[in-house]
């Protein structure tokens, strides 16, 4: 049985859709129990285009993901679990809202750094 430590929702944008991403980021932070990262205008990790991340615990999935389905304002979203395999999480375990973005899976580390886990899952 694979343990899931939480989820990431990566919201992708470009220069034209950045204002929509900023608005969505603010709404996520206001409405849900999520940790939102800053807008990253350059590729970061396996993400080849601009994006920001929302990190949340398993129970919050039922609130965040259905809301994103209806309120993502045309932005593409990758939702993935946080298990022991970063590669699998970003590929075969991933769920897309909108159009999938080609990921740079070859650069993924096997496990997640502590800062990429929900706060309650971080080991002191």
| Position 11 in a domain | no
Q: At what angle do helices 18-31 and 61-71 cross, to 10 degrees?
A: 150
pLDDT < 70 positions in the chain: 122-124
Query: In CATH, what number is assigned to the domain containing residue 22?
Result: 3.30.70.1240
Contacts of 30 (CB under 8 A, 6+ apart): none
| Position 96 in a domain | yes
State the pLDDT at residue 111: 74
pTM over 0.85: yes
Number of domains the chain contains: 1
Q: Which domain holds residue 96?
A: 18-49+56-107
Question: What does the block give as tokens for 16?
Answer: 């034209």
| Position 4 in a domain | no
Beta bridge partners of 78: 10, 96
Contacts of 110 (CB under 8 A, 6+ apart): 84, 85, 86, 87
What is the rounded radius of gyration, in angstroms, for the C-alpha atoms of the chain? 13
Alpha-carbon distance 95 to 124, whole Å? Answer: 30
| Position 2 in a domain | no
State the pLDDT at residue 124: 52
| Position 67 in a domain | yes
């Amino acid at each position: 049985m694979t343990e899931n430590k939480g989820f990431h929702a990566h919201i992708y944008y470009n220069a034209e859709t950045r204002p929509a991403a900023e608005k969505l980021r603010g709404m996520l932070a206001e409405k849900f129990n999520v940790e939102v990262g800053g807008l990253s205008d350059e590729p970061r990790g396996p993400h080849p285009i601009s994006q920001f991340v929302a990190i949340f615990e398993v129970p919050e999935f039922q609130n965040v993901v259905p809301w994103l389905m209806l309120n993502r304002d045309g932005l593409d979203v990758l939702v993935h679990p946080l298990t022991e395999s970063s590669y699998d999480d970003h590929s075969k375990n991933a769920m897309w809202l909108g159009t999938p973005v080609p990921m740079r899976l070859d650069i993924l580390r096997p496990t997640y750094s502590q800062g990429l886990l929900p706060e309650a899952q971080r080991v002191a």
